[in-house]
Amino acid sequence: MSDIQIALMNKMFGAAVEAAMPRTCVPPYLPTPPAGGKLVVVGAGKASAAMAKAVEENWDGPLEGLVVTRYDYGVACEHIEIVEAAHPVPDNAGLDAAARIMEIARGLGEDDVMLCLISGGGSALLTMPADGMTLEDKQNVNNALLKSGATISEMNCVRKHLSGIKGGRLAVAAHPARLVSLLISDVPGDDPSVIASGPTVPDDTTYSDAMDILEKHGIMPNNNVADILMAAADETPKTGDPRLAGNETELVALPKASLEAARVIAEEAGYTTLMLGDDLEGEAKEVAREHAALALKIKQSGDSSSTPCAIISGGETTVIVRGPGRGGRNSEYMLAMAQALDGTEGICAMACDTDGIDGTEDNAGALITPTTLRRAAQAGQSPESALEKNDSYGFFEQIGDLVVCGPTFTNVNDFRVILIE
């Protein structure tokens, strides 16, 4: 039965990704052409190059611009320049691209339109350290936040207040041009100010909030970072700022829609579906144990009206990194679930990042079947040891249960499904 379940989970994941593809979700939201000025396209994120391609294919007039995306996520465009840079820890390519995008924004007039294409990953890709900081300072803070278990909202609050472009600052630079932002959401709650650290929308968090987050997670900033946060000299633009008045922001793809597309596939296959939501947060292994307990409860109930069942969820879990291993939040979630299910017959599961990359490796995530732990033992793999080392990638690599699909060119966060026979 596992092969049938694996095929179904792959089909559901494919449907979730397809529902958020820029070629279909971007064109309906394109702005009206500028009356007397020009259209300039800028953007950042894992989906930004594919979004730029969708704009080019559906725009009749002249256009130009620059977007920055993750390495290997570039898509060839004719008029919009595509720059690739590092994610999740920024590099000089992202630094240079951010500076050029700010220069473009500052050169616009009131008759111009700036179309900003924003998707998940844009925060690291659109990097412009605040005055008094170096790129190395920025990289160190990013690394510490990634390992701390901080939520995406917390990470982006800190990033906004250590940046010269995030937290609405790009919008301020573009004023008085007309600004239209098209966003693909990868964050729980779909808050535009959190997606890619909200470069074109108001930010109601503060320097004090950023300091509290670092303290909460035991992160000791160096002198450069501490001085900027303590001085609080250049606060981000807040709701009601006249420089942002009249700007348009559209959410063109949402995690919920992708999970709904997966739900349709499951129900067509005869499964009852239980939707846990598209905004789940928490430490990956703890969320996995809760979901495993729910699956076991359904399995053991013996209620034929509730099975077969597909438990579907999204959101963005976190991992507190304590070991030297490899792996992202989805593969760690799967590893903890395999341990909790302990080979229970009739339960398979999959967790993948819809951008195609889980963390920094080459896999989107991983899957488990009732034979996972048995095959792992035969390969000399211990789930307990792998969890302790944060080496979920190594664990699943050894038994061939990684899900590898390559870049998808979109990003609506995590897709998770548990199938119960």
User: What is the per-residue pLDDT across 324-382, written as a single tens digit (0 to 9) for each?
Assistant: 989 999 999 999 999 999 999 999 999 999 999 998 899 999 999 999 999 999 999 99
Strand-strand pairing, 64-70 and 80-85: parallel
Write the CATH number for 245: 3.40.50.10180
Among 219, 253, 287, identify where a domain stops: 253
Domain total in the chain: 2
Residue type, 214: L
Q: What is the pLDDT of residues 269-285, one digit of tens each?
A: 999 999 999 999 999 99
What is the C-alpha separation between 281 and 360, in angstroms, rounded?
20
Indicate if 108 and 214 belong to the same structural domain: yes
Indicate if 33 and 143 belong to the same structural domain: yes
What is the C-alpha separation between 412 and 355, in angstroms, rounded?
7
**Is residue 415 within 8 Å of 259, Cβ to Cβ?**
yes
Q: Which residues contact 285 (CB under 8 A, 6 or more apart)?
A: 319, 332, 333, 335, 336, 387
Average pLDDT, the chain: 95
- Which structural domain range is residue 372 located in? 2-16+256-420
Identify the burial level of 389 via C-beta atoms within 10 angstroms of its C-beta, where 0-12 means exposed, 13-18 middle and 19 or more buried: middle
pTM of the model: 0.93
Indicate if 301 and 188 belong to the same structural domain: no
